[in-house]
Amino acid sequence: MILPQEFKNRMKKLLGDEYAAFEASYANEIHKALRINALKAEGDILAHMPFSLTPVPWAENGYYYAACDAPGKHPYHDAGLYYIQEPSAMAPAEYLDAAPGDKILDLCAAPGGKSTQIAAKMKGMGILIANEIHPVRAKILSENIERMGVCNAIVTNEAPQRLAEFFRGYFDKILVDAPCSGEGMFRKHDAASGEWSMDNINLCARRQDEILACAADMLRPGGRLVYSTCTFAPEENEGSVSRMIRQFPEFEIVSVRKTDEMTDGIKGIIEQEAERIGHAVRLFPHRLRGEGHFLAVLQKRSGFSGSYGRCETETGIPEKSCAEWLRFSGENLKEIPKGIYCAYGDQLYLLPENAPLLRGLKAIRPGLHLGMNKKNRFEPSHALALYLKKEDACRCLDLPSEGMEITAYLSGQAIPSDGAKGWHLVTTDGYGIGWGKLSGGMMKNHYPKGLRKRLS
């Protein structure tokens, strides 16, 4: 790989005697990892994983997998049992300390790795707003949240400035994994080094300042903000944090525990650097099995008094307007999920309780998609199947993950089956993966056409 000379000169100043090891790391293998989805995985799931897994030191459920493994092709991936994620990228969400009942914003959320990591720690309780400004990437974000069985997430497609108009002082915790120059991904994406320039770094830094200003307004006093990038550029890392604290003195950098592989934020490289900038965290590829990353944890002073608008609560539609759904759930589910019903045309969604009013916002996934009304009957969504556990459904068809039937199902074929007529939750090794409707000894396949796999 050919690195830009100006980039190399700057990294030599940053790293000193470590630079040779840093440059040599570009010839090393790329480390691959997955994160087990705690919303679905139960018991000793590792014993059943058909891969060679070793722990990622800084991520609770993160594991490296071997180069010979192909987890993206296994049915467990389709069932949302794990998310394939770059190892260093697992660090920021860990430092957010998400917990059940929190109100959390992932401001730059696509493709969804960090959002689904946060959601797993929330255990379906609280409100997670996952936002992405680019429509195509927002759709990918929504699909990943669906695959991982997240029920309490609202996916929005808005500019940060627009969200700030609605949510002043609303969130307990905010993650800003900011768009950046991507220097930390040079090893993964060769083309990125060819596009490198100081002009782009300065452009990214200005954009980061704007995003952080919006995040500062949306965090409640006493709240926690994690800022992260996948670049080495001080202007976008220590610089962005320092500029934010100068603009918003009610924020301070929090001291956090670092693993042995991590290093402190680098002092003395940015003019007017923030006090305690050394508490920030850097991940360098020559020191660990992962790519380059930066993060800093900030807290908004509890005594800070700001003027905050009141965020109204969504009321949704009454249960009497959901007759088809209630009939379906009464016949097919052992317990009806709780929340706020919202209708968008013939589509029915379930928002988490106490969800904020979404009127005026582009919400492309307003909570859990339950399904749609079709001529006085209800058809359940794929999202609902991925959310449910086998014990939630009245009838299940389990297909072993290593068998031929699950391959046939994922390709869209009907499956011969005995049992009661009607809807069945299709599972693989007990994990929900889709729907089937049994009639006349054949399970009609309701796996979405856009997700079906070609038989080799």
**d(C-alpha 415, C-alpha 418), whole Å:** 10
Q: Are 315 and 343 a contacting pair, CB within 8 Å?
A: no
230 is catalytic: yes
Contact 446, 383 (CB under 8 A): no
* Among 230, 322, 342, 396, the one annotated catalytic: 230
Whole-number Å distance between alpha carbons of 316 and 335: 20
DSSP code for 389: B
Which ranges of 97-232 would DSSP assign to H, the alpha helix?
113-122, 135-147, 160-166, 190-194, 198-218
Contact yes or no for 232/292 (Cβ under 8 A): yes
* Tokens matching residue 54: 């070793």
Beta bridge partners of 425: 396, 435
Task: Kindly provide the residue ranges of all beta strands, DSSP E only, lying in 356-419, ordered along the sequence.
Answer: 363-366, 368-374, 377-380, 396-398, 415-416
83 and 34 Cβ atoms separated by less than 8 Å: yes
The pair phi, psi for residue 413, each rounded to 5°, is -80, 150
- DSSP class of residue 197 equals -
Tell me which residue of 140, 153, 231, 249 sits closest to 193, measured CA to CA: 231
Strand (E) or helix (H) holding 351: strand 347-351
Question: Length of the chain, please?
Answer: 456
Asked whether 268 and 201 are in contact (CB, 8 A), the reply is no
Cα separation, 242 vs 238, in Å, equals 6
Cα–Cα distance, 138 to 295 (Å, whole number) = 23
270 three-state secondary structure: coil
Whole-angstrom Cα Rg for the chain: 23
Q: Which residues contact 310 (CB under 8 A, 6 or more apart)?
A: none
Task: Of 227, 238, 73, 236, give the one whose Cα is nearest residue 160.
Answer: 227
Single-letter amino acid code for the residue at 396? C
- Write out the catalytic residue numbers: 230
